[in-house]
Amino acid sequence: MKIRILLALTGLGMLGTQAAIADDNLWFGAKGGTLGIGFEATWRPTPILDFRAGLNKYTYDTTAAEAGIDYDSELDLNTFYATANLRAPMSPFRLTAGIFSNKNEVKLVSQQTATFDIGGMTYTGAEVGTLNAAVTFDKTAPYLGVGADFRLADTVGLNIDLGVLWQGTPIVGMTASGPIALDPNFQAELAAETAQLQSALDNYKAYPVVSIGLSFNF
């Protein structure tokens, strides 16, 4: 009888230990960085491997001069992601690879001006009206980076990520609101301006990712 009781207690202790380990392997966190404000869940099935899923969102307004035209610009950051993280044994450092559902977008609205230089031709502001441009990227984007996870307390961690999101070549669409908008010659010049703007934004295809965040285990 005593042996059975001892075995039962031992089994309960093992189950309790396994439950504690399982609980310790599930973390939730918040972060901020170049992709905006993010929320993330982490599952760590082994000491050297974890899987993460999360989202990032933010809207940033500014002004910019692109291809010789002054714009009011809006950068809409909107991504969902899943990553696998290979951790170095007995170290906070890791390698990260993943895939992003990428809805990042740049919206440009031209500022009022007396003249526009479009495709090498000069037009009046009354002729052109307002130029509107939308810049989008590949809807699915691979990610590669490095990171580090530091445990600050039993249930609190600090996370740092550095990497690159490969968004692909920007896709630019541009329209004008003025009376000349449908003129075939103007349309040809606007196409040249669109290509010039796309070239100016080409650096966005490799988007730098830097973030820092806190994670919690409940």
User: Is residue 44's pLDDT more than 50?
Assistant: yes
> Is 87 among the domain residues?
yes
Higher pLDDT, 3 or 140: 140
Task: Provide mean pLDDT across the span 179-208.
Answer: 91
Confidence bin at 17 (pLDDT 50/70/90): very low
> Is 128 among the domain residues?
yes
Give the domain CATH number at 36: 2.40.160.170
> Is 14 among the domain residues?
no
Total number of domains constituting the chain:
1
Q: CB atoms < 10 A from the CB of 46, how many?
A: 8
> Is 30 among the domain residues?
yes
> Is 6 among the domain residues?
no
Q: H helices within 25-172, ranges in order?
A: 125-128
> Is 11 among the domain residues?
no
> Is 10 among the domain residues?
no
Domain of residue 42 covers 26-216
By the 10 Å C-beta count (0-12 exposed, 13-18 middle, 19+ buried), 80 is classed as: middle
The whole-model pTM stands at 0.81
Pairing of strands 140-153, 131-136: unpaired
Nearest to 149 by CA among 79, 44, 54, 56: 44
